[in-house]
Structure 1
Amino acid sequence: METSSYSETSCENVNAVDLASSLAFRPRGSLARALYRKEKHDEYLSQFDKAEWYKCDLTEMPDTLASKFVQLEVDQDTLDFLDQSERKSDWIPTQIWHTLAKAFLGWFMTQTSINGWLQRGSMFVVSQSQLRNLLRVDDDWRSDELLDLGAGDGEVTAHLAPLFRKVYATEVSGTMRGLLQKRGYELLDVDNWNLNRKYDVISCLNLIDRCDTPMELLDQISKALKPDGRVLLAVVLPFSAYVESGAPDFKPKQLLPINGSTFEQQVKSVVDDVLTPANFEVISWSRVPYLCEGDLQQSYYWLDDVIFVLKLKSVT
């Protein structure tokens, strides 16, 4: 997954808490102040009701879409990721080094490549058990081939991989490709992955809002999917398109017509205005947090994700 633009600074919805009163006492020294703020942010995170991540107001949905909603919840894999993020965030010398390195490397490397080089900023979207719930399969289910588009450092892929006998991946960043190869995934060319092969499951997690031609990508996915195949698609909402490299204004060539003022309204728009015209049918969907490892400011960050399981619409 292209993870660069989902850095910690873009996931600051957790900072909505008013910390003014708790920060009235200001320790002297920039590092002391940073650690004090981090302590207050992490205190808020520890008290935050994580069930909120998965809530959706289905009364705003048409019945045909509401009936396909799968209620998920925090599971052990999610808690393990949060625990790991908290431990890494507390490695203060490492976090200081990362801050300095990012400031220097940012002049000539993308944020994705920086994260890959520093091996930091890993993401979490969905656990294996949550994926089984979305796919509506039992614990013994396995499929043949998974293709994970824009797989990043492979942390997200690793939660999906045990359900498949073979895992393919694509990734633009050279440093991230190196990490994927170390995990044993077969890397495909980013321009030719859809040629001469069809897949049982294609995952496209938080990518269509970070690529230049998202409708073209969805068309490629539909043509590379086996007739009975499935697509696992995740999109951050509220929708905000951003292309990390290539476009001088960071805007994609193709703008997706996603509208609505609430999470639920935008989910409906994704289905009606993007997926249906692209010849996809929703099998199931849910709301999950798109989690990212933290830094010297706080232990982890998140954005709101809608995640779909899709199939090709039947030709009549």
Structure 2
Amino acid sequence: MTTYLKPRSSLARALYEKQKIDDYLTHFDKSQWYKCNLTKLSSEITSHFVQLNVDEETSCFLKQSEEKSDWIFTQLWHSIAKVLLGWFMTQTSVNGWLERGSMFVLSHLQFLSLMSCDGDWDSNSLLDLGAGDGKVTANLAPAFEQVFVTEVSHVMRKHLQKRKFKVLGIEDWQRNNKFNVISCLNLLDRCDKPLTLLKDIKDTLTPNGRLIVALVLPFSSYVETGSLDHTPSEKLPIRGSTFEEQVECIINDVFKPLGFILLTWSKVPYLCEGDLRQSYYWLNDAIFIFKNAQ
């Protein structure tokens, strides 16, 4: 058992608490991130489930997060700068300016595992909506000839341009464009009109094109810009109190009526780089691969 000596200063106390939390994270059974109670779901939906696990890319992200979290003076600067910049910048732009808070959803091999059930998908073009700093996009990009992205934050758009992704305008990505695969990762709970977005995605996908969706469950909307009270003007009809109940509702009541056919789905951790409190954070993500029915 690890023994801790209680410190006196506020910084020392913060580092002491962080040490305890990080010790817990080290020994935490990370396979729990990927477990789902399939007995609570219909056989039709469970037949499309793909079991994923912590792999090398995921472990590498966790290790890098742990190392960055231990940069004490950098983390102190980030804490101060977040408060100051937060007065006139969104949290997304603050993170982009500070180059902190990068996210991780899927490794490249996990992505291929989800897509491999039906090998007739076209890998010519990918559009990643709400791509952030592009690190999540970068895990998908090697499978495609062309990669296009959108992003509201002007700070994040600069990061995307540095990565050589083709940045499209928020208002015109669906005009005269057709994409073979569109990814919408942890975006539907952050946009003002998610139903309109899904209809635009369907119209912009090629016939039998693929849609990749990630949603944090339990579902909770928060619109960062364009809404005074941070609530969306359109609400997705997602019901249920458990992860499994919401998965079933999302498939049957949101995507099926819009003409999307479920191919595969899984449960993964939505990981985020940490800070002075702990090395990384996570939420439960449901990830789906749909085919555009034409």
> TM-score normalised by the shorter chain: which range applies?
over 0.9
CA distance in 2, matches of 1:65, 1:23: 47
1:286 maps onto 2:266 in alignment:
yes
Q: Which residue of 2 aligns with 1:133?
A: 113
2:244 match: 264
Rounded to whole Å, the distance in 2 between the matches of 1:35 and 1:138 is 48
2:224 matches 1:244:
yes
Q: Does residue 285 of structure 2 align to residue 305 of structure 1? A: yes
Q: Are residues 138 and 69 of structure 1, via their aligned partners in 2, closer, same or farther at CA, if it must alter by over 3 Å?
A: closer
Q: In 1, Cα distance between the equivalents of 2:200 and 2:60?
A: 35
Could you tell me which runs of 5 or more consecutive residues in structure 1 were left unpaired when the two chains were aligned.
1-21
Task: Report the CA distance shift for 1:198/1:31 in structure 2 as closer, same or farther (over 3 A).
Answer: same
1:187 maps to which residue? 167
CA contact (8 A) 2:141 2:147 kept: yes
Deviations 1:14-46 (A, max 9, x none): xxxxxxxx9996411110011001100100100
Matched, 1:77 2:77: no
**Partner residue of 1:209?**
189
TM-score (norm 1): 0.90
Is the 2:117–2:264 Cα contact (8 Å) retained in structure 1? no
Contact map agreement 1:285 1:309 (CA 8 A) in 2 = yes
Q: Determine if contact 1:143/1:165 at 8 Å carries over to the other structure.
A: yes
Instruction: Give yes or no for contact 2:208–2:293 (8 Å, CA) kept in 1.
Output: no
Q: State the 1:255 CA deviation.
A: 1.1
Q: Is the 8 A contact 2:270 2:282 kept in 1?
A: yes
Secondary structure in 2 matching 1:248? coil
Distance 2:16 2:135 in 1: 30
Distance across 2 between alignment mates of 1:49 and 1:281: 33
Deviation at residue 256 of structure 1 after TM alignment: 1.1
Paired residue secondary structure (2:257)? coil
Distance 2:277 2:24 in 1: 12
Q: In 2, are the aligned partners of 1:258 and 1:274 still within 8 Å (CA)?
A: yes
1:168 is matched with 148
2:208 to 224, 228, 231: 228
Question: How many Å separate the matches in 2 of 1:224 and 1:260?
Answer: 30
RMSD, aligned CA: 1.7
Per-residue CA deviations over 1:162-218 (Å, capped at 9, x if unaligned) read 000110000000000000000000000001101111001000000000000000000
AA aligned to 2:52 is: L
Partner amino acid for 1:81?
F
Q: In 2, Cα distance between the equivalents of 1:277 and 1:35? A: 50
CA distance in 2, matches of 1:49, 1:101: 34
Q: Aligned equivalents of 1:256 and 1:23: distance in 2?
A: 48
SS of alignment partner, residue 291 of structure 2: strand
Matches within 5 A, 1:81-92: 81-92=61-72
Q: Number of residues paired by the alignment?
A: 292
* 38-47 vs 254-263, greater mean Cα deviation: 254-263
Q: CA deviation at 1:271?
A: 0.9
1:123 maps to amino acid: M
Q: Secondary structure at the match of 1:143?
A: coil
2:99 to 119, 124, 131: 119
Once the 2 structures are TM-superposed, how far is the Cα of residue 277 of structure 1 from its aligned partner?
A: 1.8
CA distance in 2, matches of 1:278, 1:32: 54
Q: Quick check: 1:64 aligned with 2:44?
A: yes
Q: Alignment identity in percent?
A: 58
Match of 1:55 among 16, 35, 38: 35
* Matched letter for residue 239 of structure 1: F
C-alpha contact (below 8 Å) 1:142/1:165 kept by paired residues? no
Normalising by structure 2, we get a TM-score of 0.96
**Distance in 2 between residues matched to 1:48 and 1:277, nearest whole Å:** 39
The answer (yes or no) to whether the contact 2:263–2:291 under 8 Å persists in 1 is yes
Query: Structure 1 residues 113-122 or 271-280, which shifts more?
Result: 271-280
- Cα separation, 1, equivalents of 2:161 and 2:196: 27
User: In 2, are the aligned partners of 1:145 and 1:200 still within 8 Å (CA)?
Assistant: yes
